Amino acid sequence: MLSDLLKGEKLSSLYHFILLTHNPYFMKPAFKMFTLAAGIFCGLAFSASGQQQGLIGKTNFLSYLEEAPPPPASLQEAARIAYGPDILQPDPLALQRVFQPIRDKVERTREQYRQAYAGKYGQDGDAGQASAAVNGNPIVAGMGGVEKVQQMDEAQAEAAARQAAAGYQQDIMQSMGGDMAVLYQKMLSDPAYRERFEKMNDQEKALELQKYMGPASTNNMTPMTPQQMAKQQQSLHSRDKVRDAMEVNEKITAIYQQLQDAAAAFGRAMDEWKATPVSHEDIEAEFNQKYNALPEIVAGEAGRQKDPEQFRLLKLRTAEAHRERAANGLKRHTALYGELKQQYKLAVSDYLGYMSRNSHKVNGDIAGLYDGTNTELAVIDFEISLLGLAEGLAKWSEELTQEAASWEKYYQETQAAFGQR
Residue 259's region, left for phi above 0, alpha for psi from -120 to 50, else beta, is alpha
The domain limits of the chain are: 2-177+222-418
> In the predicted model, what is the mean pLDDT of the chain?
77
CA quadruple 206, 211, 215, 217: dihedral sign: negative
Q: What is the pLDDT of residue 11?
A: 25
Q: What is the pLDDT of residue 351?
A: 97
Q: What is the percent of the chain where pLDDT is above 70?
A: 69
**Residues 40-80 pLDDT 10s:** 233 222 233 344 457 898 999 999 999 999 999 999 999 99
What average pLDDT does the segment 320-330 reach?
97
**Residues 242-286 pLDDT 10s:** 888 889 999 999 999 999 999 999 999 999 999 999 999 999 999
Least confident of 107-111, 120-124, 365-369: 120-124
Q: What is the pLDDT of residue 8?
A: 31
Q: What is the pLDDT of residue 316?
A: 97
Q: What is the pLDDT of residue 231?
A: 53
Q: What is the pLDDT of residue 184?
A: 62
**Residues 301-311 pLDDT 10s:** 878 899 999 99
Q: What is the pLDDT of residue 27?
A: 34
**Residues 161-190 pLDDT 10s:** 778 767 766 665 555 455 555 666 676 677
What average pLDDT does the segment 1-26 reach?
31
Least confident of 25-29, 217-221, 303-307: 25-29
**Residues 350-409 pLDDT 10s:** 999 999 999 999 998 887 777 778 899 999 999 999 999 999 999 999 999 999 999 999
**Among 134-143, 204-213, 322-331, the range of highest mean pLDDT:** 322-331
**Residues 270-282 pLDDT 10s:** 999 999 999 999 9
Q: What is the pLDDT of residue 18?
A: 28
